[in-house]
């Protein structure tokens, strides 16, 4: 009885491991290698995109690896092809390790610094992060100054329209009310 339970647990673990290796691991590690910065795929749904693209790319990597094994021809010793379980599993594990190493090199795994400080790698700055902190502050300051100037000109236009409304006739007053309302928007 205990052997049956252990055998069932081992078989279940083998199936779960094979499913993870075939349908998740290589593609997810490849996506992390290609897009190492968090939020690079999407700011809000980055994890969902990584999971979905990881599934799709894992299937593609598995298919292309099998194509490669099939292109090797027939094994003379067994008179069978090279598309057998050990070759597929070994290749996918090797590709997964290569994708992980490439992703680590590009800085996709900042948690590796907790394992050992020498493993810490930071991803290169993205296209929006090319400015230094001082340049960003200067740009923000200029934008705020432009907005303040625009706000003051709109306030002047509203005050001018209200002043003219008081001084004019009913027909002209409706015109200046429209000018004032346009300035408020």
pLDDT value at position 68? 95
Same domain for 35 and 107, yes or no, is: yes
The residue among 110, 129, 148 that closes a domain is: 129
Interacting residues of 149 by C-beta distance below 8 A, sequence separation 6+: none
Domain ranges, residue 97: 2-129
CA distance 65 to 61: 6
Q: Which two tokens stand for residue 182?
A: 């346009």
CA distance 82 to 70: 6
Same domain for 63 and 113, yes or no, is: yes
pLDDT value at position 129? 61
Residue with tokens 């994890």: 47
The residue among 89, 114, 129 that closes a domain is: 129
**Range with the poorest average pLDDT among 84-93, 123-132, 135-144:** 123-132
**Highest-pLDDT range among 95-99, 127-131, 166-170:** 95-99
**Is the pLDDT reported for residue 139 higher than 80?**
no
pLDDT value at position 113? 84
Handedness of CA 104, 108, 110, 112 (dihedral sign): negative
**Is the pLDDT reported for residue 18 higher than 90?**
yes
**Is the pLDDT reported for residue 61 higher than 90?**
yes
* Residue 26 or 120, more confident: 26
Same domain for 137 and 123, yes or no, is: no
CA distance 172 to 166: 10
């Amino acid at each position: 009885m205990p052997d049956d339970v252990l055998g069932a647990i081992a078989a279940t673990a083998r199936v779960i491991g094979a499913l993870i290796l075939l349908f998740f691991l290589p593609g997810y590690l490849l996506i992390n290698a290609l897009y190492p910065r968090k939020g690079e795929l999407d700011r809000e749904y980055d994890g969902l995109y990584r999971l979905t693209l990881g599934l799709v790319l894992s299937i593609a990597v598995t298919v292309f690896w099998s194509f490669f094994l099939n292109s090797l021809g027939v094994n003379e010793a067994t008179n069978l092809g090279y598309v057998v379980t050990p070759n597929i599993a070994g290749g996918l594990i090797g590709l997964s390790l290569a994708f992980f190493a490439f992703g680590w090199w590009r800085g996709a795994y900042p948690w590796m610094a907790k394992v050992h400080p020498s493993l810490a790698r930071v991803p290169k700055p993205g296209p929006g992060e090319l400015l230094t902190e001082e340049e960003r502050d200067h740009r923000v300051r200029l934008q705020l100054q432009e907005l303040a100037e625009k706000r003051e000109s709109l306030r002047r236009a509203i005050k001018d329209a209200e002043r003219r409304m008081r001084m004019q006739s009913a027909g002209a007053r409706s015109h200046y009310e429209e000018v004032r309302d346009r300035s408020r928007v």
